[in-house]
Chains A and B, each alone.
Chain A
């Protein structure tokens, strides 16, 4: 397996958010600021890599019929670890991300990679797949978060560059949908040109 291709596919060709449309809920829910998007992306990457590791190591020990529940328990454990650790050491980020942290467990991206990749590939490939897809996801969330923060609050990672408020709709629900729609359109255009 071309490990470079394996790692890099998660950034553009098979980007979780812009191409595969996986993990939509947190994508829309937490990207009110660039920092929140980045935080969530990294938390998800941690869970993705760890669960890929464990699944690729135990894949032959798990009977076919119970693989989904087993994967879920494994993923849920890492999500809880992230929850507890964040609560203890990054309480502000924890409050911002709210309910979306436990929801990492139902992020179709994580279960999807465990099922489609880690359960069928080697330890190394699974680690790189997890890293690539996760960081690609984080990149997408940070981009969307940055766009929404710039347009909606007139700031980037907390640094305000205008006085007062921006176009508020972008930090609210409708703006999330609309911004993401246009970003996907952009990615479509780019992918079509290079296809």
Chain B
């Protein structure tokens, strides 16, 4: 059992470390000695694929169903076989047209249709909601696991609208910090009317 402040403090220290690494990467790139333009860095950065699902879902699946936790990692490996052919082309197109989301990508491939881009964004939002919920639930379950005494009785189940897993993200989402970040990170030179639908990019 740990003090909540230790857990929160460690989390923020880790976040600061990530910012420091990003700052270092930008600083080196600006000096022309980039550490980012490196196949090892790129390959290791693909580890962002490991989310809360990896640490909670996969372990749970391995415990309950044995080896069937593996296909979720075998699939992307198989997809990366075509990475050189498919991903490279997608990255080239995205860089040329300064595209940062799958909605804009598909929209730009079919006549720069804003309607299609909006539709894709909408589908992506609906599709990603359970996934975001899973991440948040894992974070709050992990927090509870670290801070509650092992023998403590689990807290009585609150109504879903009172659950902190539900209420916290909304407080974050409408916070000025998140709105400011969403505005800063929009693609340069575009007037991005689909901003409110970009939950997928906000959550990255």
Answer yes or no: do A and B interact.
no
